[in-house]
Amino acid sequence: MRVAAVVVNYHTGPLLGDCLRRVLACPELAELVLVDNGSTPGEIDTLLAELDDRRIVRLDLPGNPGFAVACNRGARASQSPWLLFLNPDCLVEPDTLERLGRSARANERLAIAGAVLVDSQGRPDPASLRRDPLPARAIASALGLDRFDAIDGVPMAIPAGASAPIQGDAISGALMLVRRDAFNAARGFDEGYFLHAEDLDLCRRVRELGLEVWCDPGVRVVHVKGVSSRRRPLRVELAKHRGLLRYFDKFDAPRTVWPLRVLIRLGAFARLALVMARAVLRG
């Protein structure tokens, strides 16, 4: 299994080196495209000189055009039949790609595979496996109603102790192993997203092609969330707000009655205002 990893860097700091060293230790890695989205000049030069690995290709995108743009550029700069989109705050193990590859080779319809992302305490990230955020599900999750078994929210619960791969609607773009032919058939990430929801969008379009998305709960990867977003939290929240509304308009708004469309938009703006007010108060 030949894999090209695409890592998008934006002021990640020392954690970037740990991420790169770990993925370079995976035997399946054939190429590593490091896309630098407007970091401080010289910020990663020393690191790349220390690594001195011929598999690394560096792309500089001044001005930070966004995560989706950077991922697409990275994919085009590589050739391997599998693409690993990896956040620089994800810390894989040497056998991570080999274990994810087992799921991929066992199912010819699988186009996207992911792992269970966990924090430093081992707690799973709900974004590891999700349903499409249809209006009813999104509202249920926002109100906490999905804690009741009879009500589906966006996150899909992964049973404790599960080890067999589980099919879902979407996985997290923080770590996403994608068949290149499926990625190309779906025309890559939608570059209309700056940050957030582009992973949901890609998974949905891949499934519309008749292919499948799976998460392997037997593979766990530490994800140190929010390293880059701490620099500009309000901008990140605004990008998330815009991304989710773009997703809704693209896929679900045409099938949603207009009063509910209005309520969804009002709720989205109210949530954004609340989050930004809290951020301002925290200083």
Question: How confident is the model over 240-272, as pLDDT tens digits?
Answer: 889 999 999 999 999 999 888 888 888 888 877
Question: How confident is the model over 96-129, as pLDDT tens digits?
Answer: 999 999 888 888 899 999 999 999 888 999 999 9
Please state which of the ranges 164-168, 170-174, 275-279 shows the lowest mean pLDDT: 275-279
225 by Cβ neighbours in 10 Å (0-12 / 13-18 / 19+) ranks as middle
CA separation for the pair 29, 46 (Å, rounded): 22
Which of 177, 231, 202 shows the shortest CA–CA distance to 10? 231
What pTM was computed for the model?
Answer: 0.93
* More confident: 238 or 228: 238
- Can you give the pLDDT at residue 267? 82
CA separation for the pair 68, 51 (Å, rounded): 26
- Can you give the pLDDT at residue 223? 96
Rg, C-alpha atoms of the chain:
19
Q: Which two tokens stand for residue 7?
A: 């890592």
Cα-Cα-Cα-Cα torsion 43, 46, 50, 51, nearest 10 degrees, comes to 30
Most confident of 50-64, 172-186, 219-233, 246-260: 172-186
- Using pLDDT thresholds of 50, 70 and 90, give the confidence band for residue 19: very high
Q: How distant is the alpha carbon of residue 16 from its chain centre?
A: 16
103 by Cβ neighbours in 10 Å (0-12 / 13-18 / 19+) ranks as buried
Average pLDDT over residues 175-198: 97
What percent of the chain shows pLDDT beyond 90? 64
- Can you give the pLDDT at residue 106? 81
CA separation for the pair 123, 264 (Å, rounded): 30
CA distances to 87, 92, 117, 132, 172 from 120, in Å = 16, 13, 10, 27, 17
